[in-house]
Structure 1
Amino acid sequence: MTDQPHTPTAEPDASDAQGSTPSVGAQDVVAYLRANPAFFAEHDDLLLELQVPHQRGDSVSLVERQLKLLRDRNIEMRHRLSHLMDVARDNDRLFEKTRRLILDLLDADSLEAVVMAVEDSLRQEFKVPFVSLILFGDTVAPVGRWVNPTEAQQAIGGLLCAGKTVSGTLRDHELDFLFGEAQRPEVGSSAVAALDYQGLHGVLAIASHDPQHYKSSVGTLFLSYIAEVLGRVLPRFTQTLRPVR
């Protein structure tokens, strides 16, 4: 290997030295490593990120193969850890929003306050574009949307019989019942939770424009939790709730 020709340059003046950061070239790195031969012994984690050929003819040594596997595994673990951290941060934000909503429900002193707390929180805090809270009862109350239990059974009985929160793409007549015929074309996917406490009291449904947002396998823990709290809060303000069988 031959040395590269060196072209002399003018000495920088004081203002240049103070106003710019000197660049570090390959020769500077080489000189530093030669002056500090124990550098990698003290920073052996860097070896997993370096590409150091160790070949004999056309074959690759076992050491180089092992280093490559370790390097690839290290990168994979970093990506996995980054993903887990993102999920943890998202769950923290969901938990905080849910906590505030639960406290508002516990502080509510009327049925109107309960309905407003749920709808405002889901739309403003959770940024859910479609929200539907439907209560089942023979007598219609002046607050909220009330539906006869028989009508509810005919429209969404298939969603309620499972006794758990369901998500995914719903049928047209189910969307019409939950969100209205006018909004149905805009709904891509939905999640539906029954308000079930000492009998079925109603249903809480949310939806997104995105068909993939609420997949059938998506976690519905927070929505189920909100529905469970609603099922316990609502009977404090009305005695007309009736289960759908």
Structure 2
Amino acid sequence: MTTPIASISEEHIVQFLTSTPGFFERHAEVLASVQLVSVHGARAVSLQERQAEMLREKIRGLEQRIMEMLRNGSENATIAHKVHQWSGALLQVKDPFDLPQTMVHGLRTLLDVPQAAVRVWNVAAPYADAPFTRDASEDVRTFTSSLTLPFCGPNLGFEPAGWLAQEADRPAQSLALLPLRACAMDVPSPAFGLLVLGAQDPQRFDATMGTDFLARMAELASAALLRLM
């Protein structure tokens, strides 16, 4: 029994065409006569031309994605090289007392971080009164130990932001807080220090940014600063 035309829906047509791949081969005149509205105006175009437009749009989208991937790859390679230089500088430090200063200086000069500071606690007796052991309250230590990933986001008045050397009228607007511990970054365990990065640009350390490089930097910094324990 033939289905009445009035009861044929678009879904029926789609189902028929997808299940009958040879239809347009047998009825090429139908394919040639199909007219669609162009995305570039109100003019009518053939189905083949509309398909060509769709392919061109898809190719442009793929080209943009490839360019973005290449750009990100180049940026990541540059960052990786700078992190390598930074870790090399830490390895060359002979006196452990100089490690925090070298670490902060490298972050500013090699990695272009506007503001940086580091604090450690529970250090060995020879370093107990060093400047890098001061100002870390018990609350900060507890908070740092709770971090299993670097924290990135706006400066909401966090106590560690006060460790940053900054101009009085231009405080850091965004922060990255990197916990320092004797094991891997993502293993919950007591931290022995905190590395703080700051920028006046509120988007520099955005909450949505990737933290893989920051996590590796925290682990490198932790390995270096264990000499103070």
In the alignment, which of 200, 222, 229 is matched to residue 209 of structure 1?
200
State the superposition RMSD in angstroms: 2.6
Aligned to 1:222: 213
Q: Following the alignment from structure 2 to structure 1, what is the Cα–Cα distance between the partners of residues 86 and 165?
A: 25
2:121 counterpart of 1:130? no
Partner of 2:32: none
Q: Distance in 1 between matches of 2:96 and 2:192?
A: 14
In structure 2, which of residues 118, 138, 147 is the aligned counterpart of residue 153 of structure 1? 138
Between the aligned partners of 2:129 and 2:103, the Cα distance in structure 1 is 17
Aligned-residue offset at 1:205: 1.0
Q: Secondary structure at the match of 2:48?
A: helix
TM-score by length of 1: 0.65
Q: CA deviation at 1:190?
A: 0.8
Task: Select which of 160, 163, 168 maps to 2:153.
Answer: 168
1:141 to partner: Cα distance: 3.7
Matching residue within 48, 55, 59 for 2:44:
59
For 1:190-205, what aligned pairs fall within 5 Å after superposition? 190-197=175-182, 199-205=190-196
CA distance in structure 1 between the partners assigned to 2:209 and 2:113 by the alignment = 15
The C-alpha deviation readout for 1:91-135, integer Å capped at 9, x for no partner, is: 000000111111222222112442233112111111111101111
Q: Which sections of structure 1, spanning at least 5 residues, go unmatched?
A: 1-52, 240-245
Secondary structure in structure 1 of the residue aligned to 2:192: strand
Question: How far apart in 2 are the matches of 1:143 and 1:77?
Answer: 55
Q: How does 1:77-116 map to 2 (within 5 A)?
A: 77-116=62-101
TM superposition shift of 1:235: 2.4
Asked if 1 retains the 8 angstrom alpha-carbon contact of 2:178 and 2:196, the reply is yes
2:222 counterpart of 1:231: yes
Instruction: Quickly say closer, same or farther: Cα 1:119–1:166, change in 2 above 3 A.
Output: same
How many Å separate the matches in 2 of 1:60 and 1:176? 61
Give the letter aligned to residue 115 of structure 1. P
User: Does the 8 Å contact 1:169/1:190 carry over to 2?
Assistant: yes
| TM-score, normalised relative to structure 2 | 0.69
Cα pair distance change 1:115/1:235, threshold 3 Å: same
| C-alpha distance in structure 1 between counterparts of 2:94 and 2:160, whole Å | 31
Are 2:68 and 1:75 aligned?
Answer: no
Contact persistence 2:174–2:199 (CA under 8 A): yes
Query: 1:154/1:181 Cα in 2 relative to 1: closer, same or farther (>3 Å)?
Result: farther
By how many angstroms is 1:76 displaced?
Answer: 1.0
Q: Within 1, Cα distance between the matches of 2:169 and 2:139?
A: 18
Q: How many residues align?
A: 180
Identity among equivalent pairs (%): 20
- The answer to whether the Cα contact below 8 Å between 1:172 and 1:184 also exists between their aligned partners in 2 is no
One-letter amino acid of the structure 1 residue matched with residue 146 of structure 2: C
| Paired AA for residue 108 in structure 1 | V
